[in-house]
Each structure stands twice: as structure tokens, then as C-alpha cells.
Amino acid sequence: MFVDSHCHLDRLDLTPYDGDLDLALEAARARGVHRFLAISTSLDGAPNLAEIARRHDDVDISIGLHPLHEVAVESGGVEPDSKTIQECADRYGAVAIGETGLDFHYDSVPRDVQRRRFVAHLEAAHELELPVVVHTREARDETLALIREYIDPKVGGVLHCFTEDLDMAREAVRSGFYISLSGIVTFASAEALRDVARQVPLDRLLIETDSPFLAPVPHRGKPNEPQWVVEVAECIARERGITADEVAMQTRANFYRLFSATAPDAQRDNPFG
């Protein structure tokens, strides 16, 4: 069984499924994908994500505010503090905090705002003892420094949609993090990332789609969807000289180890009563 450890189920292009998310998830299940972590990009979107999880036993959610998300329109420009993030995570039964992090490629959100926002999420993750889902782009040193300062390695987190080099991957692993590979690993230009796929210990890898973004080859250019996490696993398997089933089995075990509240035998409170 495959796990899509990072997908935006509230943002999928459902045109091929007549607008029905249930059909998109059924298409993924038919290919052996049997767990989905629906990732939050804004606190205002949490009720919708929670409703998706309520309707599907194999969907879990995170709670967070993306580093490049504008809050001015939705929340009056008020940045959420750690307590607000914690309360939202508790209310909706989140199994992780994020996605959060630093993205210095664009300037749509000032870097000092991103830093404060990232720290608030890291503090919330620490208080709740939940793993954190980290987005990082062109912010290697600051991302690693903040992870080292705030993260308990026993709880850890994941650098999602990883696109950095092997050295950063190794540093993150030493800090208790996992490395998640997306459809980018299948791109012809991504040889350095395939080196990461070959060399990071298999027990520290996750797979994801980041759908609806970054569809893997041979679907590149189309809106991505959860069922195509299989192509990511197949690429990693080819690079490591193992089977896709082995990749599925180990990344699934890794997922349940990191996001322990999702494990089949986990005792979880039902936030919906």
C-alpha cells in the first residue's frame, strides 16, 4: 500500500471526476494508495479539510499557514501566534503542524514575517508534540538553524517536496527529520535529486504528490492527483535497484512512525464527537 504523505485535497482539479473528490480518492485507492495526509495552507481552510477527513477514514489533516500565504484578506492581517495554531490543531484533530517554513525565492511575504510565522508553528509543534511539515526554498541555513533550535528529534518532522542537495538532506536527518520526494524526482533535469533518492537511508524517505502541483513524468504538465504518488515510488525504486513494493512498504512504515497518530492502532480522540 502506498501513502501520499502530502496532498492538497481541497485544491485538486476535479474536472476529470465531474467535481467529485470521492471519485479522485477512489482512483488512487484502485492503484494501491490507501492513506492521504491533506495539508493545510491556511487556518481558514481548516474546517473544509476537517470535513474531508470526517468523510474518509483514510484521510488525516495537518494545520498550518503556508509561508507565502497572505493573511490580510482572510484574517484582517493578523498573524496567528503559537496558541492560535495549537487551538486550531486541537479543534480539528490535526496529526501534524504545517505546512510552514521559509521560502526566499519570492518576496510576496516579507522574510521577517516568514521567520516569525515559522517559529510560531515550531513552538506549536513542540507544545503539542506533533511533527512539523516544512516547506523550504532558498533558505537552507535558516531553516536548519530553526529546526535545530526548536524541534525535539524524538518528534521530528519532514522536509516536504525536497529539492535541495544531499548535504542538507543529511543535516535534516541528523535533526530527526524525514525527506519527502515528489514528482520532481522524475523530471529529466533532476539528477541531483535522484542522487538524494539513492543515498538517503530508505527508512528516512517519504513519498508525496503535493497535488495538484508538480505532476510526475509521464503526466507532467497536467494537474497532479494523489494516484500518481505511485510514479514517484517507481522512480525511487529504479534508482535504488529495488521494487516499488519495497518502496511502498518502507515509506508507509516511515509515515506511521513519523505521524504516529495516523497508525492503525493509534488511540485517537474523535474531534467530531
The one-letter code for the residue type at 265 is D
Whether 124 is in a domain gets the answer: yes
- Is 269 a member of any domain? no
Contact by Cβ (8 Å): 124, 89: yes
* Domain annotation covers residue 184: yes
pLDDT digits (tens, 9 = 90+) for 172-195: 999 999 999 999 999 999 999 999
* Rounded alpha-carbon distances, angstroms, from residue 192 to 149, 186, 252, 261: 28, 11, 24, 33
Over the stretch 18-50, which tens digit does the pLDDT of each residue have?
999 999 999 999 999 999 999 999 999 999 999
**Is residue 272 situated within a structural domain?**
no
User: Which domain, by its residues, includes 62?
Assistant: 2-262
CA atoms within 13 A on the CB side of 65: 30
Least confident of 1-15, 220-234, 252-266: 252-266
CATH of the domain at 125: 3.20.20.140
Mean pLDDT (whole number) for 55-59: 97
In degrees and rounded to multiples of 5, residue 59 shows phi and psi of -115, 130
The answer to whether residues 20 and 44 touch, using CB atoms and an 8 Å cutoff, is: no
pLDDT band at 266 (very low <50, low <70, confident <90, very high): low
The tally of domains found in the chain comes to: 1
Within a domain: 273: no
Q: Average pLDDT, stretch 1-14?
A: 97
Q: Is residue 96 part of a domain?
A: yes
In a domain, residue 271? The reply is no
- With respect to residue 208, please indicate whether it lies within any of the assigned structural domains: yes
The dihedral of CA 166, 39, 133, 242: what is its sign?
negative
